[in-house]
Amino acid sequence: MRPRFSPLVYGVVLVSVCPRGGIRPLTPVVSEARVYYDDSPAFRDSVRLIVRDQTAWQTQWRRATSLQATPPPLPAIDFDREMAVLVGAGRMSPGDQIHVDSAGVQGDYFVVWVRTIVQCRRFSGDVYPLEIVRVVQSDKPGHFIERRERGASCT
């Protein structure tokens, strides 16, 4: 069983990734920023990736959609103003999810809050949750902060 961390622990983590710039609120990632979500095994391992240019975007999009019978067209991203964040949970059970909750610059880092939701009722089969979102461009190094929670159906 994983330990639960208090908000104080999350605050300490935020301060540690913001050595000079202090804590600034991150921008919530709204549903309109979601470029793609899938449960296929295109990414079998857990992945956290920031895509900052068109060439890398084409490569990652091709990989993310490679198992679809008719892959969707490559979404346009203006890499002068935006970038893509790709998060994959690795092998999980049906109903489990992964989401980027918020992202933005804090101090010397581009911080991304990732939430993995694990359902209590385990179903047979494997899924590989993957989400790609569009965020504001930054040249700061990325830092991912993880949060794991139980699904709403858990009591």
pLDDT at 25: 66
Query: pLDDT, tens digit, for every residue of 74-123?
Result: 999 999 999 999 999 999 999 999 999 999 999 999 999 999 999 887 77
Give the whole-angstrom CA distance, residue 26 versus residue 3: 25
pLDDT at 124: 81
pLDDT at 29: 87
Q: Band of the pLDDT at 24, cuts 50, 70, 90?
A: low
The angle subtended at Cα 12 by Cα 9 and Cα 15, nearest 5°, is 155
Please report the sign of the dihedral spanned by the C-alpha atoms of residue 117, residue 69, residue 42, residue 145: negative
pTM value is 0.81
Within 1-155, residue ranges assigned H as helices are 7-16, 54-64
Whether residue 5 is predicted with pLDDT greater than 80 in this model: the reply is no
Please tell me whether residue 63 adopts helix, strand or coil conformation. helix
Give the whole-angstrom CA distance, residue 99 versus residue 145: 12
